[in-house]
Amino acid sequence: MMNIVCVVGSPHGVEGNTARLMEHVLQGAKSRGALCEVISLAQKQVGFCCGCDTCHRSGRCPHGDDFEEIREKIEAADGVILASPNYIFSVSAQMKAFMDRCCGVVHCMSFRGKYGLAVVTSGGGGDEPI
């Protein structure tokens, strides 16, 4: 049975459009027997990366917040889904902080071999193709 961790980076938490879209994505995974856990960054404390490089040397982030708990859950999972609204052509501040904190994970390749998916929501920006 596949275990999937879903990290929702919307400041609206589980009430926003991003979480609603994520639930539709998860319905497909659950219909195939996957166990899915949704983690809302709006309900967690994940501070900014300070660039101390401790994570590269020790494999652990020295900040005493919720990042390590989330990282451990992702490392134990078979797959990870990152979901964020698109704010000014980028992810939300919550997701950006989380992704920046993953620098040690990326450097040490702790998530190697996992399935990954990105889910993005966006409102109307009135953009036109160039």
**pLDDT number for residue 47:** 93
Amino acid residing at 96: K
Give the angle subtended at the CA of 112 by the CAs of 42 and 89, to the nearest 5°.
45
Structure-block tokens of residue 88: 């000014």
Structure-block tokens of residue 61: 């982030």
Is the pTM above the cut of 0.85? yes
What domains are there in the chain, each with its CATH number? 3-121 (3.40.50.360)
Q: Can you give the pLDDT of all 130 residues of the chain as single tens digits?
A: 999 999 999 999 988 999 999 999 999 999 999 999 999 999 999 999 988 888 888 878 888 899 999 999 999 999 999 999 999 889 999 999 999 998 877 767 778 889 999 999 988 766 666 5
CA 61, CA 105: separation in Å to the nearest integer?
10
Amino acid residing at 36: C
